[in-house]
Amino acid sequence: MLLRCGAKSLDLSSPKIMGILNITPDSFSDGGVLYRNGQVCLDVVLKRAEAMLADGADILDVGGESTRPGAATVSEQEELDRVVPVVEALVRKLGALVSVDTSTASVIRESALKGAGMINDVRALSRDGALIAAASTALPVCLMHMQGRPQTMQNAPHYDDLIADVLNFLKLKTEICLAAGIGRERILIDPGFGFGKTLAHNLALLARLSELGILGSPILVGLSRKSLLGQLLDRSVDERLPGSLALALAAVERGASIIRVHDVAATKDVVSVYNAIKNSAK
């Protein structure tokens, strides 16, 4: 499948790697690395992005609002100030395919004007104006499942039927997008690991990830350095690379098309080995 991303395309016939660029002071893993003292460190962002591209990232995901539990609220103008100049620089200076991790209509529109190629929304276009803004860009959109909202999503999440609930949510959001004029070929889905889910939920969801294929949309997953690894392995955030790689491999084996990660080079090796083994069997 060839995903049209504005001026660029992404060949999803094999798994692709999305490198994470958090332009925030408070993201759970790398907050404050690219945004310090109230401003974006653009030179640092460009160096990090250039290294990710050299390591094999196919797409860079830029986010200006942390969605970890308890994260501070970010104003619309602050998010615009953080994200839009970075998108412009990544496209103009590096020629990168850029995804924007946002739920805000104005950020969607302005990022698209600066050359962004994808919208990645943890709130599945539920904020005011986001659906119309996304439809107007003609860009692909990733719809993520989340139970509750970031500030409270981990307060005892419960499901009567985990897989059915996730499938029904994503099916409904897909239908809303289709009705708004967003073609099915522009829609990706993300089951939302860590967003309103316990350790048991996350493991069960990954084990049955292939069942989401019934929706007919490419699957994007974000499992890198997540707290489920802290619970499972008793590892701090900076000790979770081996666990993250195991999760990435499990995801691609179960049909994930895009793996969203912090550690691009190591994940690229995993995906390359997976592809070599898979192709040898043809």
Structure confidence by residue, pLDDT tens digits, 5-52 = 999 999 999 999 999 998 887 555 555 677 666 777 788 899 999 999
Residue 41 has a pLDDT of 79
Average pLDDT over residues 182-204: 96
- The SS3 assignment for 41 reads coil
Note the pLDDT of residue 103: 96
Q: Write down the pLDDT at residue 224.
A: 95
Q: Which residue has the tokens 């192709």?
A: 279
Question: Strands across the sheet with 118-121, in order?
Answer: 187-190, 141-144, 118-121, 98-101, 59-63, 16-22, 258-261, 220-222
pLDDT-based confidence at residue 256 (cuts at 50, 70, 90): very high
Whole-number pLDDT of residue 281: 76
Work out the end-to-end distance of the chain between its first and last CA atoms, rounded to an integer number of angstroms: 19
Which are the contacts of 96, defined by CB distance < 8 A and separation ≥ 6? 49, 53, 59, 60, 90
Q: What is the pLDDT of residue 71?
A: 64
Mean pLDDT of 75-88: 94
What pLDDT is attached to residue 153? 56
Q: Over pLDDT 70: what percentage of the chain?
A: 91
Looking at the DSSP bridge assignments, the partners of residue 223 are none
Q: Which range, of 93-97, 101-105, 153-157, averages the lowest pLDDT? A: 153-157
User: What fold does the segment set 15-273 form as a domain?
Assistant: TIM Barrel (3.20.20)
Q: Of 1-15, 19-33, 173-187, 224-238, which gets the smallest average pLDDT?
A: 19-33
Tokens 């109230």 belong to which residue? 38
The beta-strand segments (E) located in the chain are: 2-5, 8-11, 16-22, 35-36, 39-40, 59-63, 98-101, 118-121, 141-144, 187-190, 220-222, 258-261
Just list the catalytic residues.
226, 260
Q: Residue 14 has what pLDDT? A: 95
Q: pLDDT value at position 249?
A: 98
Residue 173 to residues 52, 109, 139, 186, 245, Cα–Cα distance (Å): 31, 20, 16, 13, 30
Domain boundaries, the chain: 15-273
Number of Cβ atoms within 10 Å of the Cβ of 230: 16
pLDDT reported for residue 25 = 74
Q: Confirm if 8 and 54 have CB atoms less than 8 A apart.
A: no
On average, the pLDDT of the chain sits at: 92
Residue 190 phi/psi, 5-degree rounding, is -135, 120
Confidence bin at 156 (pLDDT 50/70/90): low
pLDDT at 192: 96
Residue 193 CA: distances (Å) to CA of 68, 112, 240, 244: 12, 26, 16, 12
Confidence of residue 67 (pLDDT cuts 50, 70, 90): confident
At CA 259, angle to CA 99 and CA 64, rounded to 5?
35
- Phi and psi angles of residue 116, each rounded to the nearest 5 degrees, phi first: -60, 150
